[in-house]
A and B are shown apart, each in its own frame.
Chain A
Amino acid sequence: MRRRTGTAYGFLAPYLLIFAVFWVWPIVYSFWLSFLATRQLPWTFRPAMTWGRLAVDPAFVNALKNTLLILVVQVPIMIALATVLAVLLNSSLLRARGLMRFAFFAPVVVGEVAYAAVFRLMFTADRGIVNKVLEAAGLPSVDWFSNPTAAMALIIMAVTWRWAGYNAIIILSGLQSIPDDVYEAATLDRVTPLRQFLFITLPLLRPVILFCVVLSVIGTMQLFTEPFLITNRGGPGGATETLGLFLYRQGFTVLNFGYASAVAYTIAALAVVISLLNLWLGRERA
């Protein structure tokens, strides 16, 4: 390594320029904005209109509740599914491995708009394919877009479809770093596969799974496109409105930048707190 400050900053300059203008400054600026009343000019320092409003705005509280509900229900389901998928896809007994992996990993490359469109169409209440299949199986069809619980379930299913494979890829790479002889020794000692999974695989995967949980928490806190496009702007009646969608509405429909910035910082703070909480709960206990 050479000591050359000038050359180093020469290489760093273009990157740091973009970083400073489009990230560092906005981070500072939106913090400042979060204290300003921006509904009319000139913008004035009135935190009661932004931070003060958060606690008493029923629409914000609703979005917060919905987001936390998705977090508590969807993230554990998805991470559990991803872990099981990774273990099964890693099995030496598996045939058609390439095709199986493709089925679960392909959603990773599908854009939010494209998958939102196809989910919306598949779950159409009147003669959507999902309801047609439910009816063919003798089950009642579900009004996915006007029943609040069903709409929330739909968002959870859609996000799980899109991201389970992504997490399975990460967990799979963690699995492949566990040496085979650990399992060979366990098999010789007649430890059943289920117990191997519970007492060898899971503990060794702990850091990777925690990493996935933290990524998913950050992602869920910013959930926007799915409720925007699949359930039509957080419908029915705000039942699937998330913090991300609420921020979009405040910031870019009403153009209330100050209030939207307070929401943005709330999202960031919650993401940090919940991630740290997860890391603390999942820490190595001596």
Chain B
Amino acid sequence: MTSRSSRRFWRQVGLHAVLGPLALIWLLPLWMMLVFSTMPENGIFSPDIELLPKGQFWANFQELQAETGFLRTLFVSVVVALVTTGLSILLTSMAGWALVRYRFRGRWLVTALIFGTLTLPYFVVVIPQFIMVARDMGLQSTWFALIVPPLFNSLGVLFMRQAFSMMPGELFDAAQVEGVKEWQIFTRVALPMAKPTLAALAIILFLASWNNYLWPLLIASDPTMMTAPVALGTLIGFTRVSWAAIMTGAVLLTLPMIVVFIFLQRFFMSGITAGAVK
């Protein structure tokens, strides 16, 4: 009995000896992002290894704001992420509902087309999207360009279809017999029952939009319509703004998502694993 519990003890020690240092290495980039953002520029490149935050965050941020108008780009990012998330949820849940609730001509084809794009590299569509929006429509650097083309996603439909198909169909039929319109069955009965899925989907979509880089980089080069990641990207590798100032921008992009992640971890997890389960 003693040998078994001591074996268990050593196993536990071994587990933490492996995982502990690795976890510290994994945390280091995030921690250093925070530390760098609070340092004076000469502190970052001092010969000593500095691992603790200093008090310069505000001064560094003011440099970033003065050079790039970073607050405006944050505002653009917030609006784009909120509107994209809201519209995308509406569109994908309506589509998911139609696929579960009705039997109709072309249902198989629509389903196959939507899910066929799940594994399609984005590069196959980005060139025509760019030609269409920038050249044919002349809508470069507009809210439309930032919000509408990224609205399509098959993950949302996959998600909502899953959620709706778990609900008892008799419930919806009963509502229909009582004369409730289909749209109201959808908004008043089905959607409220899908709240946990909607929350997970909203978080995943918001995160994707918030961090989106390639499309906004291509389509919104005007400084007043730049998103925050694009604005920050233009500073990397150039000496226009100090590294400490760039790091304040990185912190402002990252920290809100980390906080959301800590409090709503459950929804993140279900959002990430949803694709894998089926």
A: which residues have CB within 8 A of B? Answer: 1-5, 7-12, 14-16, 18-19, 21-27, 29-30, 33, 88-89, 91, 93-95, 99-100, 102-122, 124, 126-127, 129, 132-133, 136, 161, 165-166, 169-170, 173-174, 193, 208, 211-212, 214, 218, 221-222, 224-225, 229, 232, 244, 247-248, 251-252, 257, 260-261, 263-265, 267-268, 271-272, 275
Contacts and interface: CB of A to CB of B under 8 A. Distances in A.
A105 B45 CA distance: 29
B19 interface: yes
Contacts of B49: 129, 132-133, 136
Nearest to B18: A88
B121 A102 contact: no
A26 B124 contact: yes
B71 to A, nearest CB: 17
A89 B23 CA distance: 11
Nearest to A166: B272
B70 interface: no
B269 A173 contact: yes
B95 A11 contact: yes
A273 B260 CA distance: 38
B29 A225 contact: no
A121 B33 CA distance: 9
B192 to A, nearest CB: 17
Interface residues of B, number: 98
B55 interface: no
A88 B125 contact: no
B45 A174 contact: no
Interface of B: 8, 11-12, 15-16, 18-19, 23-24, 26-30, 32-33, 36, 44-49, 90-92, 94-95, 97-107, 110, 113-114, 117, 119-132, 148-149, 151-152, 157, 169, 176, 182, 186, 207, 210-211, 213-214, 218, 229-230, 232-233, 236-237, 243, 246-247, 249-251, 253-254, 257-258, 260-262, 265, 268-269, 272-273, 276-277
Nearest to B246: A117
Contacts of B247: 117-118, 121
B229 A268 contact: no
A165 B29 CA distance: 14
B127 A22 contact: no
B121 A11 contact: no
A15 B127 contact: no
Contacts, number: 272
Nearest to B262: A102
Given A14-B91, A264-B121, A1 B103 contact: yes
Contacts of B246: 117, 121
B121 A221 contact: yes
Given A103-B24, A114-B249, A129-B49, 20 more contacts: A1-B100, A2-B103, A3-B102, A7-B98, A9-B98, A11-B95, A11-B186, A12-B98, A22-B129, A22-B151, A23-B117, A29-B128, A30-B125, A33-B127, A88-B18, A107-B30, A109-B257, A109-B258, A161-B26, A212-B276
Given A1-B102, A117-B236, A218 B121 contact: yes
A68 B45 CA distance: 35
A169 B237 contact: no
B152 A23 contact: yes
Contacts of B27: 103, 106
B11 A193 contact: yes
Nearest to B231: A113
Given A12-B94, A173-B276, A260-B127, A122 B29 contact: yes
Contacts of B95: 11-12, 15-16
4 A-B pairs with least C-beta separation: A26-B128, A111-B211, A11-B98, A103-B23
A263 B121 CA distance: 12
A257 B127 contact: yes
B202 to A, nearest CB: 14
A242 B202 CA distance: 32
B123 A114 contact: no
A7 B247 CA distance: 51
Nearest to B250: A114
Contacts of A170: 272-273, 276
A93 B11 contact: yes
A15 B157 contact: yes
Given A33-B127, A93-B12, A113 B236 contact: yes
Nearest to B20: A100
A124 B237 CA distance: 11
Which of A14, A103, A118, A120 neighbours the largest number of chain B CB atoms within 10 Å of its CB? A118
B151 A115 contact: no
